[in-house]
Amino acid sequence: MDERGQAYALEGFMAAILLFTALLFSMQAVILTPTTAGTVDQDVKTQIRAEAHDNLVIANGQGELEHLALYWNNSTGTFAHAYNNLVGYNTKPPCGRAPDAATPKCEDFGERLNATFTSRGFVYNLYLDYRSATNIQQTESTTVVYRGTPSSNAVTATFRVVLYDEMVLRSPEDADGRPLSQLGPDEFYASDIDPGPVYNIVEVRIVVW
């Protein structure tokens, strides 16, 4: 091969190396750029938040959120059939530990949450936030489902439910049918905050990660 041919071959080889190096660098840049990773993560979080909100909207339309807010055992001071006030129903869906003969309306809400999130490997906690009796501008919380400490990527969705004085508990232990306005301070998690017909305002809050 003459010198000119060798020069062409060398130039071609160097060009191939430069092209490969540039391609490799661009691939690494796409994978490692924080902006790109953040965009993907934000898209996923937005989708999860939308799904959580949709579940709350559907449940409210079916009367399940109100049922959940009233599914309280006034004797044990927990949600009906829950483990305790620390973990609520824990790994079970909300209202999911009811006896086979019982079919609480809020159990459907819990089954949809498990189908939407648990079956896909996501974890969720569920809380009820309500207005404090001592300062209605502040809220207190009670746990419906606790499955762990949320990660830094957790998303939150809420939906508000208004409880009225004449409403009654929906659990099997229904305080003998007495309305909320007649319950003692230790018989329900929330207190009467309004002299009118409103008893309390509850926000159903789901945290998913």
Percent of the chain predicted with pLDDT > 70? 79
- Is the torsion defined by CA of 23, 27, 30, 33 positive or negative? negative
Domain boundaries, the chain: 1-32, 41-208
* Residue pLDDT, tens place only, 149-198: 999 999 999 999 999 999 999 988 777 889 999 999 899 999 999 999 99
Among 15-29, 63-77, 92-106, whose mean pLDDT is lowest? 15-29
Tell me what the mean pLDDT of segment 124-144 comes to: 96
Q: For residues 174 and 74, give the distance between their C-alpha atoms in angstroms, rounded to a whole number.
A: 7
In whole numbers, what is the pLDDT of the chain averaged over residues? 84
pTM (two decimals) = 0.78
Q: Which run of H or E residues covers position 69? A: helix 64-69
3-state DSSP assignment of residue 141 = strand
* Higher local confidence (pLDDT), 42 or 155: 155
